[in-house]
């Protein structure tokens, strides 16, 4: 049996990954990535960059994508809790404009595998969260794009809990991304 379980979602190519966790009275140990083990479950990626962020409750980052140097991402939380979202922007996809979301926590240790062609973002649900992810291409700030986190046509069901929309903390840039309808009018992928 492998060290990673790949769980299908409602969108082809997007998976929740559950690692095998070995725990005892000292704590736990787990592998967070193994190229060989991932290939055995059909995930063939060549990750070239690791990123990490720390955010407080109510921070909403995203929804981001790159028009060039498109990136597949393997994301996870190492502290706290987030609701992580991927929106399908692949041309011709039968699930174009659909979203998939998963709660990632330091306790559940789940990971979210997001292929190229998706907008990605997350909402911090705990007092603070540390979020880390692997990318299979480098960041290209000149090719940055985004999708409005609150686009009614996409209809992401953010688990707000005691947060109100006006309590959310976004960057100035993230507050101004276009809707899916507006994106259709321009070329998303160069």
Is residue 41 included in any domain, yes or no?
Answer: no
In a 10 Å sphere around its CB, with 0-12 CB exposed, 13-18 middle and 19+ buried, how is residue 122 labelled? Answer: buried
Is residue 35 included in any domain, yes or no?
Answer: no
Is residue 32 included in any domain, yes or no?
Answer: no
**Six-digit token pair at 16?**
């929740």
The model carries a pTM of 0.93
Counted domains in the chain: 1
pLDDT of residue 2: 79
* Distance between CA atoms of residues 57 and 38, nearest Å: 32
pLDDT of residue 172: 94
Neighbours of 15 (CB within 10 A): 24
| DSSP structure string for 93-115 | -TTTT-EEEEEEETTT--EEEE-
Is 133 labeled as catalytic in the residue annotation? yes
pLDDT of residue 141: 86
* Distance between CA atoms of residues 176 and 82, nearest Å: 22
Which one from 15, 64, 96, 139 is the annotated catalytic residue?
A: 64
**pLDDT (tens digit per residue) in 20-58:** 999 889 988 989 999 999 999 999 999 999 999 999 999
Is residue 105 included in any domain, yes or no?
Answer: yes
Helices (H), 29-166: 35-40
Is residue 99 included in any domain, yes or no?
Answer: yes
Is residue 111 included in any domain, yes or no?
Answer: yes
Is residue 21 included in any domain, yes or no?
Answer: no
**pLDDT (tens digit per residue) in 59-69:** 999 999 998 88
**pLDDT (tens digit per residue) in 125-183:** 999 999 999 999 999 988 899 999 999 999 999 999 888 888 999 999 999 999 999 98
Q: Which residues contact residue 175 at a Cβ distance below 8 angstroms, ignoring those fewer than 6 apart?
A: none
Is residue 170 included in any domain, yes or no?
Answer: yes
Residue 176's CATH number:
2.60.120.10
Is 64 labeled as catalytic in the residue annotation? yes
Which one from 15, 33, 45, 133 is the annotated catalytic residue?
A: 133
What domain range is 77 assigned to?
49-184
Q: Is 14 helix (H, G, I), strand (E, B) or coil?
A: coil
* Distance between CA atoms of residues 102 and 100, nearest Å: 7
């Amino acid at each position: 049996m492998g060290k990673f379980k790949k769980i299908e979602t409602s969108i082809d190519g997007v998976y929740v990954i559950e690692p095998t966790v070995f725990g005892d009275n000292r704590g736990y140990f787990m592998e967070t990535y193994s190229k060989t083990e991932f290939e055995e479950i059909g995930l063939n990626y060549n990750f070239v960059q690791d990123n990490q962020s720390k955010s407080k409750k109510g921070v909403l980052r995203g929804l981001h994508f790159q028009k060039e140097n498109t990136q597949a991402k393997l994301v996870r939380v190492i502290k706290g809790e987030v609701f992580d979202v991927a929106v399908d922007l692949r041309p011709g996809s039968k699930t174009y404009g659909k979203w998939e979301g998963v709660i990632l926590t330091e306790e559940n240790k789940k990971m979210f595998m997001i292929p190229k062609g998706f907008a990605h973002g997350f909402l911090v649900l705990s007092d603070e969260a540390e979020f880390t992810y692997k990318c299979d291409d480098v960041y290209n700030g000149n090719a940055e794009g985004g999708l409005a986190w609150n686009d009614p046509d996409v209809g992401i069901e953010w688990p707000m809990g005691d947060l109100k929309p006006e309590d959310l903390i976004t960057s100035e840039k993230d507050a101004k991304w276009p809707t899916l309808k507006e994106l259709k009018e321009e070329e998303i992928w160069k």
